[in-house]
Copies of this chain bind each other. A is one copy, B any other.
Amino acid sequence: MGRGAKSKIQDWPLMERPGFLARRLHQIHVSLFAEFSVEFGLTPLQYSLLSVLSGLEETDQTTLANRVALDRTTTTGGLKRLESRGLIRRRTSPSDRRAQTCAITAKGLELLDIMDGAVKRAHKETLQPLNVEEQKKFLELLCRIVGHQEERRAKVS
């Protein structure tokens, strides 16, 4: 039972590796999102930021980054692109001059409203190969993985 006796990883098909499948799933959704909503010029990330902002009052960037589970740097980049299109506004926090706060604009709310149907279709289409029960089960399991790993991350950092 020395080393070499167990199967090597190159004998493990890509389609059975969780990491590979995770990358593909993400890739597929981004592709479908683009397909359904190219004309709006928002990426899934930018859309997430905008839709979360729509449910919040003026918020500082760190809080927002945590909400969408993003690096602060990535958040800054996305917000800058949204700001340049007038979909959000940013300013220095009046209570803490280190902090930047941001809020959605009327134009941003309007775009969200217009995109609503296309975005829902993109999400739906991602799971389309499964039947309704399977979709429910899949989302439940996926949600548990993400939820637990978030706790894990919280412990580590």
- Flag whether A48 is at the interface (Cβ < 8 A): yes
Copies in the complex: 2
Contact among B112, B126, B141, B144 with A9 in the assembled complex (CB-CB below 8 Å): B112
> Mask for A127-149, Cβ within 8 A of B = 1, else 0?
11110001001110111111111
Report the bound CA distance from A1 to B67 in whole Å: 32
Contact between B10 and A19, CB atoms less than 8 A apart:
no
Interface flags, A52-93, vs B, CB<8A=1, else 0: 101100000000000111000000000000000000000000
Cα distance, A96 to B27, chains bound together (Å): 31
- Judge if A22 is at the interface, Cβ distance under 8 Å: yes
A26 touches B26 (CB 8 A): yes
Contacts of A15 in B (CB 8 A): 143, 146-147
Whether the Cβ atoms of A18 and B126 lie closer than 8 Å is yes
CB contact under 8 A between A14 and B129, given known A22-B22, A33-B19, A137-B141: no
Give the contacts of A1-25 with B (CB-CB under 8 A): 8-11, 14-25
Interchain nearest-CB distance for A28 vs B (Å) = 5
A31, A44, A123 pick with most chain B CB within 10 angstroms = A123
Which residues of A (21-55) have their CB < 8 Å from a CB of B?
Answer: 21-31, 33, 44-45, 48, 51-52, 54-55
